[in-house]
Amino acid sequence: MLRDRHGNWEEDDDVLKQLANDFYIDLFSNNEQEVQWQQTAVSYPQLTGQELQQIHCDIEDDEIKRAVFSMSPWKAPGPDGFPAGFYQKSWNTVGRSVCDYVKQVWTNPLLLRDVNCTDICLIPKVEHPEYIHQFRPISLCNTIYKIVSKVLTNRIKNTITKVVSPHQTGFIPGRSIHENIVVVQEMAHSMRRMNGKVGYFAVKVDLSKAYDRLNWNFIYHTLTEVGYPKQWIDAVMTAVTSVRTNVKWNGVRAEFFHPQRGIRQGDPISPYLFVICMDKLSHLITNGVQEGVWKPMRAGRNGPLISHLMFADDLILFAEASVEQLNVVLNTLGQFCQMSGQQVSHEKTSIMFSKNVSAQMRAELVRLSGFNEATSLGKYLGVPLVGRAPKRSDYSYLINQVKTKLSNWKAKQLSFAGRVTLSKAVIEAIPIYPMMTTAIPKACLNEIQKIQRAFIWGDDDDGRKYHAVNWEIVTKPKAYGGLGIRRLVHMNQACLMKLAWAIRTGEDALWIEHGESLGRQMAISRQIHPRAWHFNSRRHEEHAGC
């Protein structure tokens, strides 16, 4: 059951299928005001002749085969029903035909129209969705189309790091989501402790349906500005604009329709197109900073000036807390939206102020922006941003996630080996992501470890079972007589060692430029006990990828 646009409940399958299809027909229709391309003073770096030649040269058979065999074999297929595994298993039979087809598309992209069909599969974004906009559309493309798209994507992979500015870390090879988290943690810390006359604000921007609203003319102008070869651009734009799609509801297809804007989540080239296009916002902001119009915030005492950070469509903007600066930020966002077709969701966008901004100024800026005032940035990219030393309560959600997982398992029906395997594969994996950037409180990690112990030994509501082996022995590597279960406190320290090693080796990344502002991360890394390094390096040798 879902509510229609008038709030009435609908439960008939045919009505719901048509409701979903109509929603996406309207969303992908270019029925809003015409976008206006504007050439910015700051542009993309120029590619060398050799780089352009690698993108423009003829497609080889080995290149196509690598693209086919790099795809997941049994992911959900598109309308033709053939997954990538079919082409991989039958390559000796169908390989020649696939290679010939891809080469023909390279010289005549219009051939893509025959295979460029897509099923939209809807994934709920909330636990109990009531409206159709609470679903995420994942496009299931035909595999033969995805092979062409993969080949086109691989051709720009080596140059995408050069093209996209360091403020963007999403989908860029060699850049990590953890880089943004580290920088924003330091910015939040600085704002929490800030004194003086000049205050700052941080705006956490939410773009409504960012993939689906991207204008096709904007994509074309952006790729042309980058300087990609015309043949490659023609093939990409044909892939983007020739699509026919429909919404599948309970496994039944609705009527196919032709979108007029947007790119597909599920198309191999879409992430690269998106970050290249989003980088135009970086150009607008950088141009404002260079001209002295946009006044960014300094990261730490001697760190660089930070005006914005991006991970795909997750944006955080930093500027001086004044009416003038807020107008600059709003005008820049408006200019980008006018160019690209994007739309800022004011309901989901929040603004946070530094400690030294007066209540009167806060109220005025909130009124002018229409954004929601927040005392903190909440979770950013899945990690809490508190701007202070973390507390157990900040990461209690990890304990809840572990308990939720365990509630779905029936420990009595599993053998001891089964419980150990599940606890290692699932329970230990839950806290790894925030461990990469934060020293999680030991009380939280010890609680998770306690739950893990109880599950392994079969404890239940009736009471505690007999724990036959000391936990110190259980957590040793298998080569030393243990079960190879990780000590989460030591694992957290080993994860933070990656940050220390990146600073020590001088990797080329935005967050490493923070120098003094990352002193606390270095201090954390220096506290790592040699046993943690030895323990995890042994696990790395044993499992090849700890």
Per-residue pLDDT of the chain (546 residues; tens, 9 = 90+): 898 888 889 888 888 889 999 999 999 987 666 777 888 888 999 999 999 999 999 999 999 999 999 999 998 899 999 999 999 999 999 999 999 999 999 999 999 999 999 999 999 988 889 999 899 999 999 999 999 999 999 999 999 999 998 888 888 888 888 888 888 888 888 888 888 889 999 999 999 889 999 999 999 999 999 999 999 999 999 999 999 999 988 888 889 999 999 999 989 999 999 999 999 999 999 999 999 999 999 877 777 888 999 988 889 999 999 999 999 999 999 999 999 999 999 888 999 999 899 999 999 999 999 999 988 878 888 888 877 888 888 899 999 988 888 776 666 678 888 888 888 888 888 899 999 888 899 999 999 999 888 888 877 766 777 788 888 888 888 888 888 888 899 999 998 888 888 877 766 666 675 443 444 443 433 333 433 333 343 433 333 333
Question: Which of 149, 86, 139, 150 is closest to 117 using CA atoms?
Answer: 139
Residue 179 confidence (pLDDT):
83
Residues 6+ apart with CB under 8 A from 280: 40, 222, 336, 339, 340
Instruction: Tell me the pairing of strands 305-306 and 297-298.
Output: antiparallel
DSSP string, 11-70: --HHHHHHHHHHHHHHHTS--SPPP-----SS-PPPPPHHHHHHHHSPPPHHHHHHHHHT
Residue 546 confidence (pLDDT):
35
Q: Residue 85: what are its φ and ψ, rounded to 5°?
A: -60, -30
Question: With contact defined as beta carbons under 8 Å apart, do 135 and 129 qualify?
Answer: yes
Question: With contact defined as beta carbons under 8 Å apart, do 84 and 71 qualify?
Answer: yes
Residue 411 confidence (pLDDT):
60
Question: With contact defined as beta carbons under 8 Å apart, do 68 and 147 qualify?
Answer: yes
Residue 176 confidence (pLDDT):
81
d(CA 145, CA 158): 22
Question: Which of 203, 215, 161 is closest to 51 using CA atoms?
Answer: 161
Beta bridge mates, 201: 319, 353
Q: Which helix (H) or strand (E) holds 544?
A: none
d(CA 507, CA 337): 34
Residue 322 confidence (pLDDT):
94
- pTM of the entire predicted model: 0.85
